[in-house]
Amino acid sequence: MLWKFSPRRATRRLGAAVLVLAAVPAWAQTPPVPATSLTEAFAQAWALQPEQAGTAARRDAGQAQREAAERWTPEPPALEAAFKSDRLSGNDGAREIEAGLAVPLWLPRERGLTQAQAHAEGQALESRLRAAQWRLAGQLREAWWALQLALLEQQAAATREDSASRLARDVARRVASGDLARADQNQADGALAQAQADTAEAGLAVVQARQALLALGVQPGLGTAMAEPLPALQAAAPDASHPALAELDDRARVAARAQDLAAVQKRANPELALLVTRERGAYGESNAHALSFGLRVPLGSASAHRAKVATASAERIEAEQQRLVQAQQLAADAAVARARLATAETVAAAAARRTTLALQTRGFFETSFRLGETDLPNRLRVELEAYEAERQSARARVAVQQAISALRQALGLLPQ
């Protein structure tokens, strides 16, 4: 069979192959679902954290450590074997075969203290994970509400630009008809230019806020974010269940267990040896068998023992002192967060009343300006006051939501 090369056919096949290969990444990569709440955003961010990625391996290591502490011996037994012969010397048939088993022994109280330390380290691992989640929640809350504030600023700027554009068109029409002067047209166009500049700056702020969330691994959605639930009234101050305090408590507990264990580990573990010996003196002689026991007790080092105890004691003291400082800081943060929430609610109510009055006043001046009863400077002043009132009201609403999140953060509560 004669095969002929066709450049056109080869080109078509190569193009199809390129299209298929180009489509593979689109199949392989699934875009993340945009987060519309803090809970969804926290789940996305936590899934990418190094602490979460290594959780399974660390838990396996902790389980293995606890299983090792449950053994009857601190280390696995060791087999010993030796063979002696005079083949290279006199070759009279003398030989000796020795086999044995060396078993390490626990020091007094060492096994129980090792189990207690392994259990404490398992608890410390879980508390470190919760503390890492809490710290991530603080970063996420700050970035999340910064984005919501930027979106509101962008919306307010767009509204102002739209209003300024309508006013500029109205002024241009009236200037053309001779009702207003050219200076009024310049003022209206200047207000429109300022509104366009504010809109551009608000758009940049939104981009920066979105990138801050993307850096945390969150794909923000476009919907309106809901506020977190208000904490219970009885949660007046952080308690021992707070992730930051629980982490320091477990660190101190691990250090205390390490100190107790170091106090009994004054020397290396002794070894119990069981040896079986078979030997003969020369050819023709019968084999002799012997069974022997041995005990190997290492001598301790006073300086090395003191160093281990002092190091563990220093870690325990540092963790306990850090816990006291952290508790005071968290209590202060909670008090500030409650005061911030009360202030934000008061400011939001006042801003809402101001917005209502400013919008009514703008309506009055819009009507009077169309009737020629109000000049343009006063019209622009009232328009700016209404814009600022709406802007401050929107910021005040976000401030209330931020204050609730800050209070929950100070109390150690994760996003909900």
Using one digit for the tens of pLDDT, what is the confidence trace for 45-54? 998 888 888 8
- pLDDT at residue 36 in the model: 76
Q: Which of 58, 117, 51, 412 is nearest to 252 (CA)?
A: 117
Report pLDDT digits (tens) over 124-162.
899 999 999 999 999 999 999 999 888 888 888 888 888
CATH number corresponding to 34-410: 1.20.1600.10
The pLDDT of residue 195 is above 70: yes
> Which pLDDT band, with edges at 50, 70 and 90, does 378 fall under?
confident
Predicted confidence band of residue 235 (pLDDT cuts 50, 70, 90): low
Those residues with Cβ within 8 angstroms of residue 372's Cβ, 6 or more apart along the chain or in another chain: 179
pLDDT tier at 284, thresholds 50, 70, 90: low
Of residues 27 and 83, the one with the higher pLDDT is 83
pLDDT at 245: 92
pLDDT in tens, 288-328: 788 888 888 888 777 777 888 888 889 889 988 998 999 99
Residue 281 pLDDT class (50, 70, 90 cuts): low
- pLDDT score recorded for residue 3: 42
- Do 192 and 380 touch, CB atoms closer than 8 A? no
The more confident residue out of 36 and 197 is 197
Q: Give the residue extent of every domain in the chain.
A: 34-410
What pLDDT is stored for residue 135 in this prediction? 93
pLDDT mean over 62-79 = 84
**Residue ranges of E strands in 67-164:** 78-85, 95-104
pLDDT at site 28:
39
Contact at 8 Å (CB) between 411 and 238? yes
Cα–Cα distance, 218 to 109 (Å, whole number)? 50
| pTM for this entry | 0.78
**pLDDT at residue 34 in the model:** 81
Per-residue confidence (pLDDT) for residue 370, from 0 to 100: 76
Beta bridge partners of 293: 274
What percentage of the chain has pLDDT greater than the value 70? 89
List pLDDT tens digits, range 86-109. Answer: 777 777 777 788 888 888 888 888
**Residue 29: pLDDT above 70?**
no
Task: Give me the pLDDT at residue 230, please.
Answer: 83
What pLDDT is recorded for position 24? 41
Q: What residues have CB less than 8 Å from 33, skipping those under 6 apart? A: 40, 219
Question: Other C-beta atoms within 10 Å of 139: how many?
Answer: 14
Over residues 208-230, mean pLDDT: 82
